[in-house]
Amino acid sequence: MKLFQKMIGLVLVATFIFSSIGCSAAANVAKQGIKERDELVALAQGVQSAASNFALVTDTQYAKIQITTQQTASYYEAVAQSGEVWTGNFRSQQAAFEKLQAEAKAANVGGDPTKPNLDQMVKDGTLPSDTGKAFSLFVNSVVQAPPPVPNEKVTLAQMDTANEAMNTIQLAGTDWNNAVRAYNTKRSSVTGEVVAAASDIIGFPLPANFPYYQGASAGQPIKNPLAQPTVAP
């Protein structure tokens, strides 16, 4: 009888021990699941932050390019307008000189260009004193107040702004890729239950992976070709 009771006691103790071990293992599994869920949530939030930052950077850089583009356009418009005024001035003087020159050539004796009809030239106002004055006016219209030569610095500044903007966006793309890499790696190693629990916290179903940012230049820095030194052939 005592032996039987002792055996019963041993069985109960063993049952208690195994039950405790099982509960401990289950608790550890639950804790691990919560840890993985929280890690996945944090990584997903990192991707959210990277996406938000990328949008901010692109908006800012786009606005910067828009401003410098408008400034450059206004500069070249002013240069063009100045050129039109200058062109109009010298063309009018050119027309006046050519008219006098033609009349002077037509005023001759017997059609001989070597025998100018001085009387007719006085009446027409085509003597050398007159045509010389007209020629001087034409020359002055050409050399005085010509349009400004477009400043290459304006174009280079515009290009540099665009290049800086693209490089800044690529840095933001690098941040996105780092966040995506961390998320994708973790997401591929957790169970569906963990993903579901994390999705509930985030507020939307978490995808199996996020795509990487490539960029127009495959991640390479953008350079302004106009700013590069020209190598003589």
Residue 159 in any domain: the answer is yes
**DSSP output for 37-65:** HHHHHHHHHHHHHHHHHHHHHHHHHHHHH
Whether 10 is covered by a domain: the verdict is no
How far is the first Cα of the chain from the last one, in angstroms, to the nearest whole number?
Answer: 112
Q: What is the pLDDT of residue 184?
A: 94
Pairing of strands 112-116, 108-109: antiparallel
- Residue 159 token pair: 């290009």
Residue 232 has pLDDT above 50, yes or no: no
Alpha-carbon Rg of the chain, whole angstroms?
43
Per-residue confidence (pLDDT) for residue 190, from 0 to 100 = 92
Determine the 3-state secondary structure of 5 from DSSP.
helix
Q: Dump the DSSP string for 58-124.
A: HHHHHHHHHHHHHHHHHHHHHHHHHHHHHHHHHHHHHHHHHHHHHHHHH-EETTEEEEE-HHHHHHH
Tokens 């691990």, located at residue: 32
CA 171/CA 73 separation, integer angstroms = 29
Split into its structural domains, the chain has a count of 1
Provide the pLDDT confidence category of residue 230 given band limits of 50, 70 and 90: very low
Q: What is the C-alpha separation between 115 and 119, in angstroms, rounded?
A: 12
Identify whether the C-beta of residue 116 lies closer than 8 Å to the C-beta of residue 108: yes
Domain membership flag for residue 107: yes
Asked whether residue 184 is assigned to any structural domain, the reply reads yes
Q: Which residues contact 33 (CB under 8 A, 6 or more apart)?
A: 191, 193, 194, 197
pTM over 0.75: no
Domain coverage including residue 59: 43-224
Residues 6+ apart with CB under 8 A from 155: 72, 226
- 4-13 long-range contacts, CB within 8 A, separation 24+: none
At 198, is the secondary structure helix, strand, or coil? Answer: helix
- Asked if residue 21 belongs to a domain, the reply is no
pLDDT of residue 208 exceeding 80: yes
Residue 191 lies in a domain: yes
pLDDT over threshold 50, residue 47: yes
Specify if 54 maps to a domain. yes
pLDDT, tens digit (0-9, with 9 covering 90-100), for 124-149 = 888 888 888 888 877 777 767 666 67
Q: Is 15 within a domain? A: no
Per-residue pLDDT tens digits for 2-33 = 555 556 655 555 565 555 555 554 455 467 87
Mean pLDDT of all residues in 43-71: 89
CA distances from 78 to 65, 88, 209 (A): 20, 15, 52
Specify the higher pLDDT residue, 232 or 128. 128
Q: In this predicted model, what pLDDT tens digit does every residue of 160-197 receive, in sequence order?
A: 888 888 888 888 888 999 999 999 999 999 999 999 99
